[in-house]
Amino acid sequence: MLRRLRRGRPSALRARRQRHGDSLGRAAHPAGQDHPPRSRRRGGAGAPGKDAAAAGEDTARLGLVAAWRHSTVFTDTERTALALTEEGTRIIDGYAGVTDETWARVRKHYDEEQAIALVSLVAMINATNRLGVILNNQGGSYVPGNLTAVAG
């Protein structure tokens, strides 16, 4: 499945996402982790950071998301999610996208359902960020839980 996603065949992702839409957040992280992987480079910024803090995530960890490569507070699984997020989000400078090395790490740390959910979660957060820019939403006004209510 990941190979098909990598090769640009989104129909499998679409079908799985529709079937498992309610479980994206839960499936995006392995059992035993209290919170989904951080999906923003700027720790604590915006809706994902506020939701994570409201769910009990350590604010020191949230503050280190931007420096995740140089921090010791993230697990290998979280580092994998952050690498996928960073590489899948970066669209400037002719960036090549998600590397084969990162995909290999995703396959190591996440089963197929979790990987599909993680990719979907990154895409949804990216879409939300783009809508915020298009609609000129001002930062800082988000109330934790609002995205959950909207996605509902």
The pLDDT assigned to 138 comes to 78
Answer whether 0.75 is exceeded by the pTM: no
The whole-number pLDDT of residue 24 equals: 46
Which residue is listed with tokens 């982790």? Answer: 33
- Residue 5 has which token pair? 């996603």
The alpha carbon torsion through 118, 86, 77, 36 (nearest 10 deg) reads: -50
Instruction: Extract the runs of DSSP E, i.e. beta strands, from 17-133.
Output: none
Written as one string, the DSSP assignment of 12-76 is HHHHHHHHTGGGHHHHTS-TT-SSPPP--SSTT-HHHHHHHHHTT--HHHHHTGGGGGG-SSS-H
Question: How confident is the model at residue 32, as a pLDDT?
Answer: 44
> Which amino acid appears at position 42 of this protein?
R
Q: How many C-beta atoms lie closer than 10 Å to residue 67's C-beta? A: 11
Tokens found for residue 106: 């995703």
- pLDDT 10s digit of each residue in the chain, 152 long? 555 555 444 455 445 444 444 444 444 444 444 444 444 444 445 666 777 888 888 888 988 998 999 999 999 999 999 999 999 988 777 778 899 999 999 999 999 999 999 999 999 988 988 888 888 877 777 777 776 655 54
Does residue 79 contact residue 68 with C-beta atoms inside 8 Å? Answer: yes
